Amino acid sequence: DHTHADTLRTPIVAVLGHVDHGKTSLLDTIRGSAVSEGEAGAITQHIGATDIPLDTISGMAGELIDPSDFDLPGLLFIDTPGHHSFSTLRARGGALADIAVLVVDVNDGFQPQTEEAIDILRRTGTPFVVAANKVDTTPGWNPQDGDPIQKSMDAQSERAKSMLDENLYEIIGQLSDAGFSADLYWRVQDFQKNIGVVPLSALTGEGVPDLLTVLMGLSQRFMKEEMAIDVTGPGEGTVLEVKDERGFGATVDTVVYDGVIRNGDTVVVGGQDEPIVTEIRALLRPRPLAEIRTEKEFEKVGEVGAAAGVKIAAPDLDQAMAGAPVRVVRDRTVDQVVDEVKAELAEIEVETADNGVVVKADTLGSLEAMANALREAEVPILRAEVGDIAPRDIAVAETANQDEHKAILGFNVDLLQNAESDLENADVKLFKNEVIYQLVEDYERYVEEKQR
Ligand code: GTP
Ligand code: MG
């Protein structure tokens, strides 16, 4: 019902974690579908958003949730592939996600992308819980499908219990090393001060009711005020991905975090060169409980209110950037909104120098994260852009004054085919990696060796 102002919107929950630690499986279990089975190599290719209504959540949480205690409409989950930078998830200078679930494999513990996620959560001040996943792989585990974790723990042998405990305390220790005081969630009194760890299995569903309960509790208690929005205000969102869609051309998968977007609205979208002003031709929404990235047949809708994932079809979106803002103009002037978008983009614009390396990244957010990492490592940047590595990037890298700066650092991007021979013939070194700090380390090691 979009006729009342100041209704509570759905909190946005980002699911983060290292590759294969079980993010997509956890969401699959929550929405009772099996998206991951349809995925090539079970690797998530794209970012998706899934809206889980309160009814479904309370159904799954069973005895742990009394739906009458909650007035939030549900939770909007954003899945992030492990190899992808979730730093795309930004909004109006802050984090797009209201809360996050950090998925950690109980046997593997912290891994590079876990550390990277922790860094981003710390920097953005995003409240989070840890899902200690795959408890069912504990030797001798006696699975209790879909049960709350305490009940499931009671059904385990002493040996299985103590093995799991050992792994859980390892994770709690790693959180502590990362500067977060953490404990098993049922021992946490104040979720603002301590990180709750929820042991669970995405495979058997045990512990999942606990996670949903903690997430609902967190959003209800700490975020209710922020969830009060003017639901009829001009829509604001963030581009998760730019995708070609047959019959529509370039479209942008967007998470709307404020106001409402209507079909026919004039919108301003952050673009490669400058803001794109365009008119919405279609708003495409996956059906409830379906997944935006696998749904082939989209439902055309007249409007979409926050918080939701929606695919926007409009002319001229091919230059749109992942991570960039989307703003509805509505009763303001186009210039005013263009200025707003420019100001927001300026905040993330990377500082460049006359000397330095060329940086390419897949999204605005990851470009920003790269720039931060390089600044800390005192590596200057000559040029930084979103997009795949093109011939002109090689040409620019070649102009660097110092040999060590004749380098391109590519994060989650490809070398375009027409740039391959240029790279072979140029005196330019290419570094590619899907973990930011590893990319920076690779480059630093190269410079060290060069100086020897
Ligand atoms: P990326 O999207 O590639 O980063 O991976 P992900 O974190 O989404 O992991 P995904 O859900 O694809 O799971 C990776 C593998 O772990 C799959 O083979 C899953 O079946 C398995 N897996 C996930 N959760 C569990 C669990 O709770 N128990 C067991 N035994 N296996 C699990
Ligand atoms: Mg996945």
Q: What is the pLDDT of residues 268-282, one digit of tens each?
A: 999 988 999 999 999
Task: Give the best-scoring range by mean pLDDT among 209-213, 221-225, 345-349.
Answer: 209-213
- Whether 47 has a pLDDT exceeding 50, the answer reads no
Q: Is 17 in the pocket of ligand 1 (CB under 6 A)?
A: yes
**Which ligand 1 atom is at minimum distance from the Cα of 200?**
27
Chain centroid to CA 397: how far? 30
Of the ligands numbered here, which is closest to the C-alpha atom of 48? Answer: 2
Q: How far is the CA of 208 from the centre of ligand 1 (A)?
A: 14
Please, which residues have CB within 8 angstroms of residue 57's CB and are 6 or more apart in sequence? 65, 74, 75, 212, 216
Q: What is the pLDDT of residue 62?
A: 78
Q: How far is the CA of 250 from the centre of ligand 1 (A)?
A: 31
- Whether 214 has a pLDDT exceeding 90, the answer reads yes
Which of 58-62, 277-281, 298-302 has the lowest average pLDDT? Answer: 58-62
Mean pLDDT calculated for residue range 44-48? 45
**Which ligand 1 atom is at minimum distance from the Cα of 42?**
12
- CA dist 200 → 33, 138, 417 (Å): 18, 11, 44
**Which ligand 1 atom is at minimum distance from the Cα of 27?**
11
- Whether 19 has a pLDDT exceeding 50, the answer reads yes
Token representation of residue 301 = 């809708």
Q: What is the pLDDT of residue 58?
A: 81
CA separation for the pair 340, 22 (Å, rounded): 38
Of the ligands numbered here, which is closest to the C-alpha atom of 28? Answer: 1
Q: What is the pLDDT of residue 406?
A: 96
- Whether 143 has a pLDDT exceeding 90, the answer reads yes
Closest CA to 195 of 230, 171, 221, 159: 171
Q: Which of the pair, 134 or 126, is modelled with greater confidence? A: 134
Q: How far is the CA of 306 from the centre of ligand 1 (A)?
A: 29
**Which ligand 1 atom is at minimum distance from the Cα of 113?**
4
Interval 378-401: pLDDT, tens: 999 999 988 899 999 999 999 999
Closest CA to 193 of 204, 179, 182, 203: 182
Q: Is 102 in the pocket of ligand 1 (CB under 6 A)?
A: no
Q: What is the pLDDT of residue 372?
A: 85
Query: How confident is the prediction for the chain on average, in pLDDT?
Result: 87
Q: Is 114 in the pocket of ligand 1 (CB under 6 A)?
A: no
Mean pLDDT calculated for residue range 82-100? 72
Mean pLDDT calculated for residue range 155-180? 97
Position 38 confidence tier, pLDDT thresholds 50, 70, 90: very low
Position 290 confidence tier, pLDDT thresholds 50, 70, 90: low
Q: What is the pLDDT of residue 346?
A: 78
CA separation for the pair 138, 147 (Å, rounded): 17
Proportion of the chain above pLDDT 90, given as a percent: 56
Q: What is the pLDDT of residue 247?
A: 86
Query: DSSP label at 29?
Result: H
Of the ligands numbered here, which is closest to the C-alpha atom of 434? Answer: 1
- CA dist 355 → 289, 375, 383, 425 (Å): 50, 13, 9, 22
Q: What is the pLDDT of residue 84?
A: 55
Q: What is the pLDDT of residue 419?
A: 95
CA separation for the pair 321, 260 (Å, rounded): 21
Which of 209-218, 245-254, 262-271, 360-369 has the lowest average pLDDT? Answer: 360-369
Proportion of the chain above pLDDT 70, given as a percent: 90
Backbone angles phi, psi at 395, to 5 degrees: -60, -45
Say if CB 92 and CB 20 are below 8 A apart.
Answer: no
CA separation for the pair 11, 98 (Å, rounded): 6
Query: DSSP label at 9?
Result: P
Query: DSSP label at 389?
Result: B
Which of 88-92, 216-220, 348-352, 386-390 has the lowest average pLDDT? Answer: 88-92
Q: Which of the pair, 426 or 351, is modelled with greater confidence? A: 426
Neighbouring CB atoms inside 10 A of 278's CB total 19
With helix as H, strand as E and coil as C, how does 306-357 read? CCEEEEEECCCHHHECCCCEEEECCCCCHHHHHHHHHHHHHHHCCCCCCCCE
Q: What is the pLDDT of residue 291?
A: 57
Closest CA to 310 of 329, 330, 290, 332: 290
If 0-12 CB within 10 Å is exposed, 13-18 middle and 19+ buried, where does residue 448 land?
exposed
Q: How far is the CA of 25 from the centre of ligand 1 (A)?
A: 5
- Whether 79 has a pLDDT exceeding 60, the answer reads yes
Q: What is the pLDDT of residue 48?
A: 64
Q: How far is the CA of 226 from the centre of ligand 1 (A)?
A: 32
- Whether 88 has a pLDDT exceeding 80, the answer reads no
Closest CA to 295 of 235, 263, 327, 251: 251
Residue 409 DSSP SS3? strand
Q: Which of the pair, 351 or 110, is modelled with greater confidence? A: 110
**Which ligand 1 atom is at minimum distance from the Cα of 135?**
27
If 0-12 CB within 10 Å is exposed, 13-18 middle and 19+ buried, where does residue 246 land?
exposed
Please, which residues have CB within 8 angstroms of residue 287's CB and are 6 or more apart in sequence? 295, 299
Give 395-403 contacts, CB < 8 A, sequence gap 24+. 395/422, 395/426, 396/358, 397/357, 397/358, 397/426, 397/428, 398/426, 398/427, 398/428, 400/355, 400/356, 400/357, 401/355, 402/355, 403/427, 403/450
Ramachandran assignment for 228, one of left (phi > 0), alpha (psi -120 to 50 degrees), beta (any other): beta
- Whether 33 has a pLDDT exceeding 60, the answer reads no
- Whether 45 has a pLDDT exceeding 70, the answer reads no
- Whether 408 has a pLDDT exceeding 90, the answer reads yes
Position 98 confidence tier, pLDDT thresholds 50, 70, 90: very high
Q: How far is the CA of 52 from the centre of ligand 1 (A)?
A: 20
